[in-house]
């Protein structure tokens, strides 16, 4: 152990700029993984992450690097989550480092996530090494991108390393820069223990594995430890490093990064950003930067088959134990029966959790449209938070509804500035700033209602910019807004799970749109179905689905039996996500149709 020979760093990049590919090259170059072990993109481990090409858990690996000066260094490469939903986790992973490689695609330039991550790195006082990746591409324009880095981030980029992670160009130069430009950690292995928790997960063999950066002191097996924010105490089972597989060691000392296990039963007991100290010789203060996690986006989850309620209950309980960012409470819907109102960090987190519940617990779920949390000031002087539109109190009890707002940065080629501004206007945005980054690229800053983003902002932005825009946002505060609750009635019966909260000025339009969407997704039934949108007792839109006897096999003339069976199976398949509401069968699509506006 020689603290001066340790370098802790991470790679920050906008999605697809080559972070994982570069990490692979570095692992290869330092011989951390042999060819046989070498799975492409080693650091993205979970199935869902691999499939989606994103990282949602910080991964870390210890490497040995013999530098050109003949000295051997220990490098800890910490891979950070790559999505705006997980920016708190990113910031804690970065707090475990002294430096970061800023990877920018030389054919694209600075994008929203580049800047957002860069700010997090700067806040954590990291030494930043710019790397221009993909220089093998004919469209690479390193000079322009250098200029962008300087103008937008204010970072000297003249000595940026030119690299191609794909072709292995620049890998050694990057490692040399890591060794010479990033400072060694400081910290005293004899001081009272302060270890930063920056990630944790459940391992079927080890129990909960906690990723830590030792800032001061030394962690050893059998030590009695305390987590300073939660107050939980444990006895350390094992400590060790990632090579990249878990390898036990005798201790972890100041400056080092590694894992501990401590017979911790569930991930929920470990809070990211918390500080571990020694029970008998505690540190005076926890490390800075701890924040409890908070759900931002909510939706109702219901089993399609109400017989699966107990299974769903078990599944959400299990998931809750191992995902501290996930919250839930039982919810009852007149339309959907028993289910849960679940809270997530953001839309991606929501998608991942839903996918996991269905995949790992073999459930078929129906989800309501996502909603944000409204702060509602009531006439009786109290304040409540409403996460389920169906639970919005009646208008006459409400003094004021406040909606959460975000500050958003949008990077876009000049040609699309007009459409983007149009979209932001339509979404009740307020422009805060507009900056030309280069002749062709513009940075727009807006304040926008969070519920508009949850609704369909991404999809629309993508379509008006042909995918050329990138965005990042953070929640700022609550502001009063004239929101109303809109109910959907099917054959005169309000379907609580279809209620939405919408801005007064958009209610008519949205009501009409929603009702016509519903008409198109609700299959014809044996009787007439009338769909209405209403605000309070006032109906603002109405459509009907004409009755029809739907006999799919009628076409078969009784002839081909296999074809007949196929059709029936197909119909059964289609029914899987139908929910009987009163006498009417409503498909899953209907509950999400509020999201798909055009």
End-to-end CA distance of the chain: 61
301, 326, 337, 573 from 320: Cα distances, Å: 14, 6, 22, 30
Q: Tell me how far apart the alpha carbons of residues 8 and 158 are, in angstroms, rounded to a whole number.
A: 24
Closest CA to 579 of 513, 536, 521: 521
The dihedral sign for the CA sequence 358, 364, 369, 372: negative
294 is in an annotated binding site: no
Which of 165, 208, 212, 590 forms a contact with ligand GDP (CB under 6 A)?
Answer: 165
Decide: residue 285, CB within 10 A, 0-12 exposed, 13-18 middle, 19+ buried.
exposed
Q: Tell me how far apart the alpha carbons of residues 404 and 475 are, in angstroms, rounded to a whole number.
A: 7
* Interaction between residue 20 and ligand GDP (CB under 6 A): yes
The distance of Cα 248 from the centroid of its chain, to the nearest Å, equals 31
* Interaction between residue 141 and ligand GDP (CB under 6 A): no
C-beta of 16: minimal distance to Mg ion in Å? 8
* Interaction between residue 17 and ligand GDP (CB under 6 A): yes
Phi, psi angles (nearest 5°) of residue 483: -100, 150
67, 315, 324 from 318: Cα distances, Å: 46, 5, 11
User: Per-residue DSSP letters for 476-516?
Assistant: EEEEE--EEEEEEEETTEE-GGG-EEEEGGGHHHHHHHHHH
134 is in an annotated binding site: yes
* Interaction between residue 166 and ligand GDP (CB under 6 A): yes
C-beta of 56: minimal distance to ligand GDP in Å? 12
Q: Considering only 160-168, 351-359, 440-448, 469-477, which stretch makes contact with ligand GDP by CB under 6 A?
A: 160-168
Q: Of the two residues 17 and 341, which places its CB atom closer to ligand GDP in the complex?
A: 17
* Interaction between residue 114 and ligand GDP (CB under 6 A): no
Q: Considering only 28-36, 133-141, 212-220, 319-327, which stretch makes contact with ligand GDP by CB under 6 A?
A: 133-141
Phi, psi angles (nearest 5°) of residue 547: -70, 150
C-beta of 58: minimal distance to Mg ion in Å? 12
C-beta of 134: minimal distance to ligand GDP in Å? 4
77, 98, 179, 268, 302 from 68: Cα distances, Å: 19, 21, 10, 44, 60
21 is in an annotated binding site: yes
Contact residues toward Mg ion (CB under 5 A) are 19-20
* Interaction between residue 588 and ligand GDP (CB under 6 A): no
Residue 479 pairs in a beta bridge with: 403
Q: Of the two residues 21 and 295, which places its CB atom closer to ligand GDP in the complex?
A: 21
Strands 72-79 and 6-13: parallel
C-beta of 387: minimal distance to ligand GDP in Å? 32
* Interaction between residue 16 and ligand GDP (CB under 6 A): yes
* Interaction between residue 18 and ligand GDP (CB under 6 A): yes
Binding to ligand GDP, residues 24-83 (CB under 6 A): 53
C-beta of 43: minimal distance to ligand GDP in Å? 9
476 is in an annotated binding site: no
Residue, CB closest to Mg ion: 20
DSSP, res 171: H
18 is in an annotated binding site: yes
Binding site partner of 17, from ligand GDP, Mg ion, none, Cβ cut-off 5-8 A by kind? ligand GDP
Binding residues for GTP: 16-21, 133-136
Report the interface residues with ligand GDP, using CB under 6 A.
13, 15-21, 53, 133-134, 136-137, 164-166
Annotated binding site: 16-21, 133-136
């Amino acid at each position: 152990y020689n603290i001066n020979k340790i370098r802790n760093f991470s790679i920050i990049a906008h999605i697809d700029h080559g972070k994982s590919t570069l990490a692979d090259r570095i692992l290869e170059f330092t011989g951390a993984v042999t060819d046989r072990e070498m799975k492409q993109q080693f650091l993205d481990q979970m199935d869902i992450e691999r499939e989606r090409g994103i990282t949602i858990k910080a991964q870390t690996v210890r490497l040995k690097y013999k530098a050109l000066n003949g000295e051997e260094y220990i490098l800890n490469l910490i891979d950070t989550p790559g999505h705006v939903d997980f920016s708190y986790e990113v910031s804690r992973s970065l707090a475990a480092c002294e430096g970061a490689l800023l990877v920018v695609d030389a054919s694209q330039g600075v994008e929203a996530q580049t800047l957002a991550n860069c700010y997090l790195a700067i806040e954590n006082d990291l030494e930043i090494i710019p790397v221009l990746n993909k220089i093998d591409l004919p469209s690479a324009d390193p000079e322009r991108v250098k200029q962008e880095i300087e103008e937008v981030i204010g970072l000297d980029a003249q000595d940026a390393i030119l690299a191609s992670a794909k072709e292995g160009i620049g890998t050694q130069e990057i490692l040399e820069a890591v060794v010479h430009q990033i400072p060694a950690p400081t910290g005293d292995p004899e001081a009272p223990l302060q270890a930063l928790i920056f990630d944790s997960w459940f391992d079927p063999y080890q129990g909960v594995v906690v990723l830590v950066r030792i800032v001061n002191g030394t962690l050893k097996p059998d030590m009695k430890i305390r987590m300073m924010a939660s107050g939980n105490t444990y006895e350390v089972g094992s400590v060790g490093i990632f090579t990249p597989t878990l390898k036990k060691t005798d201790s972890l000392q100041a400056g080092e990064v590694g894992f501990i296990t401590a017979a911790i039963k569930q991930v929920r007991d470990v809070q990211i950003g918390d500080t571990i100290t020694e029970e008998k010789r505690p540190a005076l203060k926890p490390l800075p930067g701890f924040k409890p996690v908070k759900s931002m986006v909510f939706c109702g989850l219901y089993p399609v088959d109400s017989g699966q309620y107990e299974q769903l209950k078990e599944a959400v309980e299990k998931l809750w134990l191992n995902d501290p960012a996930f919250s839930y409470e039982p919810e009852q819907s007149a339309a959907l029966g028993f289910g849960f109102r679940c809270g997530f960090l953001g839309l991606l987190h929501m998608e991942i959790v839903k996918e996991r519940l269905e995949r790992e617990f073999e459930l078929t779920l129906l989800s309501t449209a996502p909603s944000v949390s409204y702060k509602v000031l009531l006439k009786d002087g109290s304040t409540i938070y409403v996460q389920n539109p169906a639970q919005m109190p009646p208008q006459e009890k409400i003094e004021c509804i406040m909606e959460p707002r975000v500050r958003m940065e949008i990077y876009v080629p000049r040609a699309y500035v007009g459409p983007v501004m149009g979209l932001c206007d339509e979404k009740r945005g307020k422009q805060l700033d507009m900056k030309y980054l280069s002749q062709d690229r513009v940075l727009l800053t807006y304040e926008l209602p969070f519920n508009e983003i949850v609704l369909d902002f991404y999809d629309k932005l993508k379509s008006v910019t042909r995918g050329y825009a990138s965005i990042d946002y953070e929640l700022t505060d609550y502001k009063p807004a004239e929101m109303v609750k809109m109910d959907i009635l099917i054959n005169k019966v309000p379907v609580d799970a279809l209620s939405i909260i919408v801005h007064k000025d958009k209610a008519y339009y949205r009501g009409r749109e929603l009702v016509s969407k519903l008409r198109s997704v609700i299959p014809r039934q044996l009787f007439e179905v009338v769909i209405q949108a209403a605000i309070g007792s006032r109906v603002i839109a109405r459509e009907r689905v004409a009755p029809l006897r739907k006999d799919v096999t009628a076409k078969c003339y009784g002839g081909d039996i296999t074809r007949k069976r196929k059709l029936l199976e197909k119909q059964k398949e289609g029914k899987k996500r139908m929910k009987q509401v009163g006498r009417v069968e409503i498909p899953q699509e209907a509950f999400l149709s509020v999201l798909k506006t055009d």
